[in-house]
Amino acid sequence: MPPRLLVVGLGNLPHPNTRHSIGHVIIDVLAAQFGIHRSINRSVGGFKGCSNVLSFLDDIVSLTLFKPKLLMNIAGPSVKSTLHNTVKLPASMVVIHDSLDHKVKVLSVKLEGSANGHNGVWSVIDTLGANADFYHFRIGIGRDHAIDRANYMLPDMPLDRLLHWNGIGLDRVCHELRRITSRNQTI
Whole-number average pLDDT of the chain? 87
The angle at the Cα of 184, spanning 103 to 93, to the nearest 5 degrees, equals 50
**C-alpha to C-alpha distance for 152 and 100, rounded to whole angstroms:** 10
Taking only the tens place, the pLDDT of each residue in 144-169 is 878 888 888 887 877 666 665 544 57
What pLDDT is attached to residue 161? 65
**C-alpha to C-alpha distance for 153 and 60, rounded to whole angstroms:** 37
Strand segments, DSSP code E, in 10-105 are: 39-41, 46-54, 60-68, 93-99
CB crowding 12-45: b at 16 or more within 10 Å, else e: beebebbbbbbbbbbbbbbbeebebebeebeebb
Confidence of residue 103 (pLDDT cuts 50, 70, 90): confident
Q: Tell me how many domains the chain contains.
A: 1
**C-alpha to C-alpha distance for 72 and 187, rounded to whole angstroms:** 31
What pLDDT is attached to residue 179? 86
Query: What CATH number does residue 123 fall under?
Result: 3.40.50.1470
Domain span including residue 72 = 4-186
What pLDDT is attached to residue 163? 62
Using DSSP's 3-state secondary structure scheme, residue 76 falls into helix
Percent of the chain at pLDDT exceeding 70: 90
What pLDDT is attached to residue 183? 77
**CA dihedral for 31, 76, 97, 141, sign (positive or negative):** positive
Residues with a catalytic annotation lie at: 20
Does the pLDDT value for residue 108 go beyond 70?
yes
Single-letter residue type at 17 = N
What pLDDT is attached to residue 166? 44
**C-alpha to C-alpha distance for 126 and 114, rounded to whole angstroms:** 10
Does pTM top 0.95 for this prediction?
no
What pLDDT is attached to residue 85? 94
What pLDDT is attached to residue 171? 79
**C-alpha to C-alpha distance for 156 and 154, rounded to whole angstroms:** 6
The angle at the Cα of 153, spanning 150 to 154, to the nearest 5 degrees, equals 80
Taking only the tens place, the pLDDT of each residue in 38-65 is 999 998 999 999 998 865 556 788 899 9
